[in-house]
């Protein structure tokens, strides 16, 4: 029996989820063809914000890679739009001239961003924020321009603003309503969120009405003008003012549309051979924008495509549990209240906590929370069930773990939840589904649960609850996801700790030797384990282990960061942020000689040459080396920078010589490979102009000497460094800092930042090794100096130009 033909237009989250569900229940029914307008396989749009902020890559957010389509026999046609549907002939026509016949057609065309119809909306520099291309455009703009304006203060707009601010732009958020996220938050929660975002550097104008976008001399947008006549500068304008269902293709085919492609409870359109799911669909007058309802639609649609004919989609009760730039917010139902309702409120601005539950006739009809949202799923379940809460209303604000005799005293949130309670709103996964999978499949880790149930695999806000369910279901057998027993990757069952111990105890001097000794499942490892093994070898056996270039990423091999257009970024080192006229002249000469298009000052007090061609890398490094400049290792898992203020050398407030100490620290650590990037800073006084409080090691000068802080992180989730110790002299600072970093080098897992290392082992443990044991501290410090002695930049010894290209081929390709 020949298979039916299914064509899907659109390759987003809702459509591909439909295919996943269909393949589960009817894997042999269809030959499937998928058209995607973008050049990427299915990815998680929810996680575009971390990509913009620089904390994730596009590869990190791919949900279904190309192998998944191939393994399931799906003909995937990327970067290829469908331009026409012939319903009579049952064919679709694509822009590349191809045509494909169908027996069933699934429209998953998503939505388009709403662009304000104001003069100047078509200027260069005015973009939407919807997909990877938009994200790339914003990253480019942030590298070359200063002022950004985001129009719209919904979730997407705030995440865009935060990402652009993290990339160094001056960002103003413009919003038409009286408060931000007015559809998800009441004014009190919104004001708390706005205050937190302002503390991070964002600016707000609201309510504000955009009248016009004006161009500058270059023709690019340069100004936003408001209806009251005021204006603000704007080199980049991001429209995040809402979305509209993408119905153009359906309408051109004569399929009935009304603010979306109109579908019934089986997700069929008015043409019974054509289905629609996702943001393009209008079901009972509603076009949903949240991912959870779209996945519910996908399950029902798959049921009918499989011809089971028993599923119905009757609409969704939605809640919003989100992490806005690292801050938790939750809302559900009628959280604004009104006539006939009553509010119960807990508001602690000092602790950053706000909870408001809205009751009507002793039933919970709405809730909104800021800061502490762990009971969101509990509130949402009561709201959906219409549960009478009269007997427990006095305990509502304190959560289901504080109900005493009225509930589940002493139990955590997971143990108290009924099996039908929804845990993962994005994927529609209930507690019972997770518990059943854990017991039936013998699951022990968060990753296992994600693979089998999809819970916690989308926005991640339910991760903590999923881990609680794991712990309560398997008791003492539960192993947290980041524990010492987590396997390095799928190539082995060995954990990072076990691998490090084997390399140290058995003196394994190469990645290949380690894989052979530990009986790796794959002959050559993978991109996850090879760099880790290589690092563990060279950090355990400096001067003896083989540093395998092919086990390093291209950025470390070439001492340059590959850019999205295939060119490279070159950052020479400037010790402690100091430079000389000779170095500046060498950089200028190199930029002119090799036609470098962009020269930028970095946040680490250095100069970045962006757009270097691959073939020019050995030559540009040769020229810089002749001027005495070495690699800044700006993209390696290594010492990056030691940021300094001018200190007592020049500043009238300075108490210590921060520049000279910063140079000493950076030269001491030059060539230090580490589990992850390491950044230091030295401030000459407590005013802390070098931002030492968010570095892996931060040193602050005080009248009596220095204070040392450790485990700070200025990334997407800023972590304030913890006070570690005091020191009287520069020598003490260097010994204590060096010993701490060597302990981290010896015990940290590959890709584990110092903050996560200390979270894992505890600050008291680190203090016992570095501060409380003088002999151990000195031994750690000596091992660091031994490992780094005689380190030379790989380009330093390649002074003869004829040798450079051959050496480059060996080292960097």
Instruction: Please give the annotated binding residues, written as ranges.
Output: 645, 651, 685, 689
Q: Are 288 and 279 in contact (CB under 8 A)?
A: yes
The annotation places the binding site for [4Fe-4S] cluster at: 645, 651, 685, 689
* Residue 252 burial (C-beta neighbours within 10 Å; 0-12, 13-18, 19+): exposed
Q: How far apart are CA 680 and CA 712, in angstroms?
A: 9
Tokens of 665: 């620290």
Give, for 263, the enclosing helix (H) or strand (E).
Answer: strand 261-263
- Collect all residues with Cβ–Cβ distance below 8 Å to 308 and sequence separation of at least 6: 25
Q: How far apart are CA 679 and CA 367, in angstroms?
A: 42
Residues in the chain: 813
- Collect all residues with Cβ–Cβ distance below 8 Å to 770 and sequence separation of at least 6: 736, 739, 740, 743, 776, 777, 780
Tokens of 498: 């076990």
The annotation places the binding site for siroheme at: 689
Q: How far apart are CA 497 and CA 359, in angstroms?
A: 51
Short-list 61, 40, 18, CA closest to 280: 18
Q: Are 640 and 632 in contact (CB under 8 A)?
A: yes
DSSP assignment of 480-526, as one string?
-TTSTTSBSSTT-S-BHHHHHHHHHHTT--SHHHHHHHTT-SSSS--
Q: Are 620 and 594 in contact (CB under 8 A)?
A: yes
- Collect all residues with Cβ–Cβ distance below 8 Å to 403 and sequence separation of at least 6: 392, 395, 409, 416
Q: How far apart are CA 651 and CA 532, in angstroms?
A: 43
What is the largest distance, in Å, between two alpha-carbon atoms of the chain? 87
Q: How far apart are CA 2 and CA 110, in angstroms?
A: 31
Q: Are 275 and 106 in contact (CB under 8 A)?
A: yes
């Amino acid at each position: 029996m020949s298979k039916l033909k299914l064509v899907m237009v659109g390759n987003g989250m809702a459509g591909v989820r439909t295919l996943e569900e269909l393949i589960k229940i009817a894997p042999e029914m269809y030959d499937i063809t998928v058209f995607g307008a973008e050049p990427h396989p299915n990815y998680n749009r929810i996680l575009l914000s971390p990509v913009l902020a620089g904390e994730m890559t596009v590869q990190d957010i791919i949900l279904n890679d190309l192998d998944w389509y191939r393994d399931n026999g799906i003909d995937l046609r990327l970067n290829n739009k469908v331009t026409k549907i012939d319903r009579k002939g049952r064919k679709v026509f694509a822009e590349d001239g191809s045509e494909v016949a169908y027996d069933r057609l699934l429209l998953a065309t998503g939505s388009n961003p709403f662009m304000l119809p104001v003069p100047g909306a078509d200027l260069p520099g005015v973009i939407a924020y919807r997909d990877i291309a938009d994200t790339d455009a914003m990253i480019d703009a942030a590298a070359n321009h200063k002022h950004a304006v985001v129009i719209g203060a919904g979730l997407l707009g705030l995440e865009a603003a935060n990402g652009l601010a993290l990339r160094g732009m001056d960002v103003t958020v413009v919003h038409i309503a009286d408060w931000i996220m007015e559809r998800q938050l009441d004014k009190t929660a919104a004001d708390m969120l706005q205050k937190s975002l302002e503390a991070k550097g964002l600016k707000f104008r609201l309510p504000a009405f955009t009248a016009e976008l004006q161009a500058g001399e270059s023709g690019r947008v340069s100004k936003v003008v408001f209806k009251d006549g005021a204006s603000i500068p704007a080199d980049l304008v991001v429209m995040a003012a809402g979305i509209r269902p993408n119905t153009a293709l359906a309408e051109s085919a004569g399929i009935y549309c009304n603010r979306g492609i109109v579908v019934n409870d089986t997700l069929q359109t008015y043409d019974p051979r054509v289905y629609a799911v996702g943001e393009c669909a209008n079901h009972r007058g509603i076009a949903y924008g949240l991912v959870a309802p779209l996945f519910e639609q996908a399950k029902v649609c798959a049921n009918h495509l499989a011809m089971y004919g028993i599923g119905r989609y009757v609409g969704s009760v939605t809640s919003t549990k989100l992490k806005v730039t690292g801050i938790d917010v939750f809302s559900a139902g009628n959280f604004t209240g009104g006539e006939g309702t009553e509010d119960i409120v807990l508001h602690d601005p000092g602790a950053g906590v706000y909870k408001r539950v809205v009751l009507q006739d002793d039933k919970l009809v709405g809730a909104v929370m800021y800061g502490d949202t762990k009971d969101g799923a509990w509130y949402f379940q009561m709201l959906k069930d219409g549960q009478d809460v009269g007997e427990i209303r006095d305990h509502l604000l304190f959560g289901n773990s504080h109900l005493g005799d009225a509930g589940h005293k002493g139990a955590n949130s997971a143990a108290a939840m009924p099996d039908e309670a929804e845990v993962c709103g994005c994927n529609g996964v209930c507690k019972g589904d997770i518990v059943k999978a854990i017991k039936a499949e013998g699951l022990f880790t968060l990753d296992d649960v994600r693979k089998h149930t999809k819970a916690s695999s989308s926005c991640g806000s339910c991760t903590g609850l999923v881990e609680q369910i794991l712990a309560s279901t398997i008791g003492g057998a539960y192993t947290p996801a980041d524990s010492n027993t987590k396997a390095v990757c799928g190539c082995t069952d060995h954990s990072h700790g076990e691998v490090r111990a084997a390399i140290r105890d058995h003196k394994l001097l190469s990645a290949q030797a380690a894989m052979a000794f530990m009986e790796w499942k794959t002959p050559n490892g993978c991109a996850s384990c090879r760099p880790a093994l290589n690092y563990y070898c060279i950090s355990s056996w400096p001067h003896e282990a083989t540093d395998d270039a092919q086990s390093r990423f291209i950025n470390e091999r070439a001492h340059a960061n590959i850019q999205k257009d295939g060119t490279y970024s070159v950052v020479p080192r400037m010790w402690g942020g100091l430079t000389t006229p000779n170095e500046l002249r060498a950089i200028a000469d190199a930029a002119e000689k090799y036609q470098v298009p962009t020269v930028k000052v970095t946040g680490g007090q250095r100069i970045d040459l962006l757009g270097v061609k691959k073939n020019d890398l050995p030559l540009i490094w040769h020229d810089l080396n002749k001027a005495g400049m070495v690699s800044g290792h700006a993209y390696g898992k290594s010492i990056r920078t030691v940021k300094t203020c001018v200190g007592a050398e020049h500043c009238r407030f300075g108490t210590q010589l921060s520049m000279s100490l910063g140079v000493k620290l950076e030269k001491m650590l030059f060539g230090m490979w580490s589990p992850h990037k390491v950044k230091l800073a030295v401030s000459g006084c407590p005013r802390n102009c070098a931002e030492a409080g968010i570095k892996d090691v931060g040193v602050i000068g005080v009248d009596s000497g220095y204070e040392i802080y450790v485990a700070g992180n200025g990334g997407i989730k800023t972590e304030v460094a913890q006070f570690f110790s005091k020191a009287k002299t520069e020598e003490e600072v260097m010994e204590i800092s060096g010993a701490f970093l060597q302990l981290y080098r010896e015990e940290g897992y590959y890709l584990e930042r110092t903050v996560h290392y200390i979270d894992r082992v505890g600050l008291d443990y680190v203090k016992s090794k570095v501060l409380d044991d003088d002999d151990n501290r000195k031994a750690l410090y000596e091992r660091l100096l031994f490992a780094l002695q005689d380190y030379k930049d790989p380009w330093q010894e390649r002074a003869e130009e004829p040798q450079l290209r051959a050496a480059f081929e060996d080292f960097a390709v």
